[in-house]
Amino acid sequence: MAFKAPVKDQLFCMKELAGIDQIAQIPGFEDAGYETAQAVLEEAAKFNEEVVAPLNWSGDQDHGSWDNGVVKASPGFKEAYKALTEGGWQGLQMPTEYGGQGLPKTIGAACIEMTMAANLSFSLCSILTTGATEALLTAASDELKQRYIPKMIEGTWTGTMNLTEPQAGSDLALVRSKAVKQADGTYRISGQKIFITYGEHDMSENIVHLVLARTPDAPEGVKGISLFVVPKFMVNADGSLGQRNDVYCASIEEKLGIKASPTAVLVYGDDKGEVGPGAIGYLVGEENRGLEYMFIMMNAARYDVGLQGLAVSERAYQHAVAYARDRVQSRPVDGSAKESVAIIHHPDVKRMLMTMRALIEGERAMAMVGAAAYDTAHHHPDADTAKQAQAFYEFLVPLIKGFSTENSVEVTSLGVQVHGGMGFIEETGAAQYYRDSRILPIYEGTTAIQANDLVGRKTARDGGAMARAIAAQIADVEGQLTGRASEAGKKYAAQLKTAREAFLQVVDFVLANVKANPNAVFAGSVPYLMLTGNLVSGWQMGRALIVAEDKLAAGEDAAFMSAKVATCRFYGDHILARVASLRDSILQGGESVTAMPVDAF
Amino acid sequence: MAFKAPVKDQLFCMKELAGIDQIAQIPGFEDAGYETAQAVLEEAAKFNEEVVAPLNWSGDQDHGSWDNGVVKASPGFKEAYKALTEGGWQGLQMPTEYGGQGLPKTIGAACIEMTMAANLSFSLCSILTTGATEALLTAASDELKQRYIPKMIEGTWTGTMNLTEPQAGSDLALVRSKAVKQADGTYRISGQKIFITYGEHDMSENIVHLVLARTPDAPEGVKGISLFVVPKFMVNADGSLGQRNDVYCASIEEKLGIKASPTAVLVYGDDKGEVGPGAIGYLVGEENRGLEYMFIMMNAARYDVGLQGLAVSERAYQHAVAYARDRVQSRPVDGSAKESVAIIHHPDVKRMLMTMRALIEGERAMAMVGAAAYDTAHHHPDADTAKQAQAFYEFLVPLIKGFSTENSVEVTSLGVQVHGGMGFIEETGAAQYYRDSRILPIYEGTTAIQANDLVGRKTARDGGAMARAIAAQIADVEGQLTGRASEAGKKYAAQLKTAREAFLQVVDFVLANVKANPNAVFAGSVPYLMLTGNLVSGWQMGRALIVAEDKLAAGEDAAFMSAKVATCRFYGDHILARVASLRDSILQGGESVTAMPVDAF
């Protein structure tokens, strides 16, 4: 089924909720207003619909190959990646001094959302390269930056992030890879890294690995981890490629989904290159500060995975809608037709499609607002404004990551269900999204890791200040909604209020117990994340409802605005409604989660 | 990971909740009391653990082959099916006059649950054969019964159910396959059937297809469908096999899961056999009553799919627990250890495992109580008792099917999540359950079809009588719980009361609106099913809590009983808590489900 980029809703979120025109007032972003956004998004839509999307299903079927350390990407991926970089998409948000276009994240996020929806596996090459580039921008010396970043932006080289080892997944304190300093200032790296996305492939001339490892005298735990650049091929002084470095792809995983994205086991230091034993690496920043640099970048990576959740949901939704319009089965329950009708007319099919749609639109609104906060935080000239925006963005990241990816599993599952038996047949395509989405609540920090972050760093550390500041903003929107003439506005205000009050109860519970009874709090941390993500998305949907009703009254874009109103109403009735159960579960159930002795399971 | 049959919990449900000793007082079941159950279940456990379970993962990997109409089953399946039938398992619940053992469903259901958990794909051959056998028992002539049933029970022949056609899935009114009566009283069948589980394979000497088709002068719609027996090989008068009939396997589907179960496209009447054009079929019962016979059998089939949901959940749970005990990662949040610990100690992992466990135990309790109701309905000498039990059983069937299968998608997804990144690697095995489970809310009637049944035939038709009778029984359990000395009992009573009252509100809503505003009611039909399944399982968990606390106080089987108490408490705090949101969604949200015009999606 042809993919259609959701440009219209992205522009709505960007303009009406994220405030792209305010972003355009920040120095450096003067040319990045609504008109620019519109032009860029339309180009991005064309590219992703025509070039990237057609490779999604074929990539799942023929997902490349591994042969003695050499990995061939899925057919067409190499050419598509060339087209992506030549179109300037890899450098969209990158600094102009390295060949990027310096556009705000508010625009960039919408573009990469399209690529993810068009082809999740393919998009990861771009995203991981962006992640590695940002790590270098954050902490590398000018020399390293100059040597690597322009090539990564122009697309001749790609990047990877090497964190995980067999014994060190969520727990990076357990990283064991070694880095031994040489007389020339370089390091020799050895160890095994697993789950390395695009760790090996033939889509670029070189691969720039960012690798976490320990120096021999490093302290134990997370404070003894350093970050290194390890190129697949050594880079000569003139920028040309030299010897093969000592990093080798031992295998590619057989995965449930995102099959066209090669997930590599990489072995460093087995003397399989041309440089002798030990991969040659260059320290990024200072020794023992690797995790700190990674964490800066990880917020970006987590944000991106949240977008992936949103994106694969959008794709699954479009697929399901197309099938539901086409498939004729059974008469309507209200007797409005004597013949069988397209299943989209049946209430339960509508319920499923509306659930998918409402989650997607809520998540997109939250993500776009998050992107604008990022732009403000990183570029606003007023330090206080920037600082406040940064705190807000950091609060949102675990929600964007956790809420959107957990929901993507639900949404893609509903996508299969809408297809009935055909959904279970791989050829139909709905099952691919269901398989692909399942990694999203896991990688770049599981939902539990996001929830720990939300509880600890984002809620408890400032004594609930940001949580309450958000609640106050939501109360303000409730006030606006209550004051409206429309029934829908008043009803939504009441639903938002109920959800906000539940949130505040939970925040109080978290603050009161996180020290004294951490088990009870962390037993409810994922429900707390889901409740908060639901509320914050619902807050944005409340703002959207106000805008859409006003535009509708003004006769502006009636079809889009009335669909937006309908989706907001559904969000209030059915998605916000989930908050009550989550609250009860958190407040009453901390003890019963942990009561059972481990041996009794 | 080795599978361990959940014999202990099955026996608990059977004895304490389903009342196996009452079943043993029904004439014909005198030898089917607790002792028998125990002996049979222990044998079944041995067989399924040792013979069936080891073929689960290998079957997923090497799932047989299709070559020019001939299908080879996965390696080992043929031998395992032979062992299953030789062990007498295929005839467990079948009448003794045809070679069965005549045991009650209360025991039979527990045995087949084990087979399903051991190997879902494999179990389907047995289940479909049972389904076809029951269709014959229900409606076929003595001659047909004598000719087919003994062979199906002894395992030399297997059976299939042929309902679906490309244009006729949920909507059987659209069935087009033709059956033309011949001078000798047989029929010639032609048409295409899809999604036929074990429609072709080499595990038995013959395959007995039960086929829905229309005679030339049949009325339109569901009242013009007849049921036929169509053997793969004709059966001679002496029971030996004759010519190849004109039914041909055109292809096998590539599916998301249950890959080792061959899903066939069957073509009837293409003159590919030895009998000339048209498959020779024998009418079962009377013309035009096919759907009626199917429906009798479909309740059994739906019950069985509900068990599949429970079973695959149990398997996923065991897999996840084993991993969580083994995988060491991160220090405990409560500071109780300085080193990283097995992840089963982390509150969120416990939350996931307890959610899986509570759903499984609740579903099993409901399923076992349902099986006992079936036995009472079919065998109790008192007509009124039997009738009441039948109505209760029929109310439970959509819950057992819908609730347990929808939850199986959640439970197997949690199973993947517990494994972190390893869960996404196929070799780990957790992903198989996630893939396998996804068909369960679809086949034998999607969840929406179950929910329509619950609303229409099971709730509205008797004016809510059975729904309210169940609520009254639940109120009685609340009373028992409230009167207990334990805090857990009192808390559970309050939670059950809240859930029951929500249920009654929804029942009132359904009854008040089903005629006047069917769209609003059917917009909430699946949430109503989930709410009701949750409550009915929770009712059984409330009964289990009483028994377990009493046994614990009496010093009986302390480890099992205290785990049961812990699981019941979790059910009350976290699973029953879901009811509130479902109620709100149903009561307030009927209109917003259907408000969006079809063109606006």
Radius of gyration, alpha carbons of chain B:
24
Per-residue pLDDT tens for A217-276?
A: 999 999 999 999 999 999 999 999 999 999 999 999 999 999 999 999 999 999 999 999
The answer to whether residue B221 neighbours chain A at the CB level (below 8 Å) is: no
Residue B315 has pLDDT above 90, yes or no: yes
Over range B288-296, report the average pLDDT.
Answer: 91
CB B88 within 8 A of CB B102: no
CB A378 within 8 A of CB A505: no
Per-residue pLDDT tens for A80-93?
A: 999 999 999 999 99
Q: Active-site residues of A: which are they?
A: 444
Sorting pLDDT into bands at 50, 70 and 90, what band is A58? very high
Query: Where along chain B do its domains lie?
Result: 446-601
Smallest Cβ–Cβ distance between A596 and the set B413, B417, B563 belongs to B563
Residue A1 has pLDDT above 80, yes or no: no
Q: Which of A379, A376, A368, A388 is nearest to A28 (CA)?
A: A379
Q: Where are the alpha helices (DSSP H) in A524-557?
A: 525-553
Give me the pLDDT at residue B596, please. 95
DSSP string, A366-386: HHHHHHHHHHHHHH-SSHHHH
CB B564 within 8 A of CB B548: yes
ipTM metric? 0.98
Residue B1 has pLDDT above 80, yes or no: no
Contacts of B447 in chain A (CB under 8 A): 417
Best mutation site among B351, B515, B575, B591 for testing chain A: the one with the most A CBs within 10 Å? B351
Q: Quote the tokens at residue B423.
A: 């869960």
Residue numbers of B between 330 and 359 with CB closer than 8 Å to A: 330, 333-335, 340, 342, 344-351, 353-354, 357
Residues 6+ apart with CB under 8 A from B451: A348, B398, B402, B522, B525, B526, B528, B529
Residue A78 has pLDDT above 90, yes or no: yes
Lowest mean pLDDT among A11-20, A31-40, A293-302, B15-24: A293-302
Sorting pLDDT into bands at 50, 70 and 90, what band is B296? confident
How many CB atoms are closer than 10 A to CB A378?
15
Give me the pLDDT at residue A526, please. 98
Residue A324 has pLDDT above 80, yes or no: yes
Share of chain A above pLDDT 90, in %: 98
Give me the pLDDT at residue A300, please. 87
B333 and A423 within 8 Å at the Cβ level: the answer is no
B171 and A593 within 8 Å at the Cβ level: the answer is no
Per-residue pLDDT tens for B214-244?
A: 999 999 999 999 999 999 999 999 999 999 9
For residue A201, the Cα-to-chain-centroid distance in whole angstroms is 23
How many Å apart are CA B511 and CA B455, to the nearest integer?
A: 9
CB B280 within 8 A of CB B230: yes
Q: A–B: how many Cβ contacts below 8 A?
A: 266
How many Å apart are CA A361 and CA B252, to the nearest integer?
A: 38
Residue A299 has pLDDT above 90, yes or no: no
Per-residue pLDDT tens for A334-382?
A: 999 999 999 999 999 999 999 999 999 999 999 999 999 999 999 999 9
* Phi, psi dihedrals of residue A380, rounded to the nearest 5°: -70, 135
Radius of gyration, alpha carbons of chain A:
24
B578 and A573 within 8 Å at the Cβ level: the answer is no
How many Å apart are CA B172 and CA B222, to the nearest integer?
A: 6
Over range B559-567, report the average pLDDT.
Answer: 98
CB A53 within 8 A of CB A59: no
Q: Nearest CA of chain B to the CA of A482: how many Å? A: 18
Contacts of B409 in chain A (CB under 8 A): 413
| C-alpha torsion B268→B270→B275→B277, nearest 10 | 110
Best mutation site among A254, A308, A348, A457 for testing chain B: the one with the most B CBs within 10 Å? A348
Q: Which residue of A has its CA nearest to B517?
A: A334
Smallest Cβ–Cβ distance between A431 and the set B171, B256, B421 belongs to B256
Residue numbers of A between 443 and 502 with CB closer than 8 Å to B: 443, 446-448, 451-452
Which whole-number Å values give the CA distances from B265 to B66, B71, B163, in the listed order? 11, 12, 12
CB B263 within 8 A of CB B199: yes
CB B144 within 8 A of CB B314: no
Which whole-number Å values give the CA distances from B500 to A443, B424, B523, in the listed order? 40, 39, 21
Q: Quote the tokens at residue A119.
A: 């082809």
The answer to whether residue A510 neighbours chain B at the CB level (below 8 Å) is: no
Per-residue pLDDT tens for B527-546?
A: 999 999 999 999 999 999 99
Q: Known catalytic residue: B274?
A: no
Angle (deg, nearest 10), helices A105-118 and A34-47: 20
Smallest Cβ–Cβ distance between B348 and the set A195, A425, A522 belongs to A522
Q: Which residue of B has its CA nearest to A320?
A: B601
CB A347 within 8 A of CB B523: yes
Share of chain B above pLDDT 70, in %: 100
Give me the pLDDT at residue A295, please. 83
The answer to whether residue A415 neighbours chain B at the CB level (below 8 Å) is: no
Sorting pLDDT into bands at 50, 70 and 90, what band is B294? confident
Contacts of A257 in chain B (CB under 8 A): 424
Q: Quote the tokens at residue B26.
A: 């029904």
DSSP string, A574-595: IITTHHHHHHHHHHHHHHHHH-
Per-residue pLDDT tens for B253-267?
A: 999 999 999 999 999
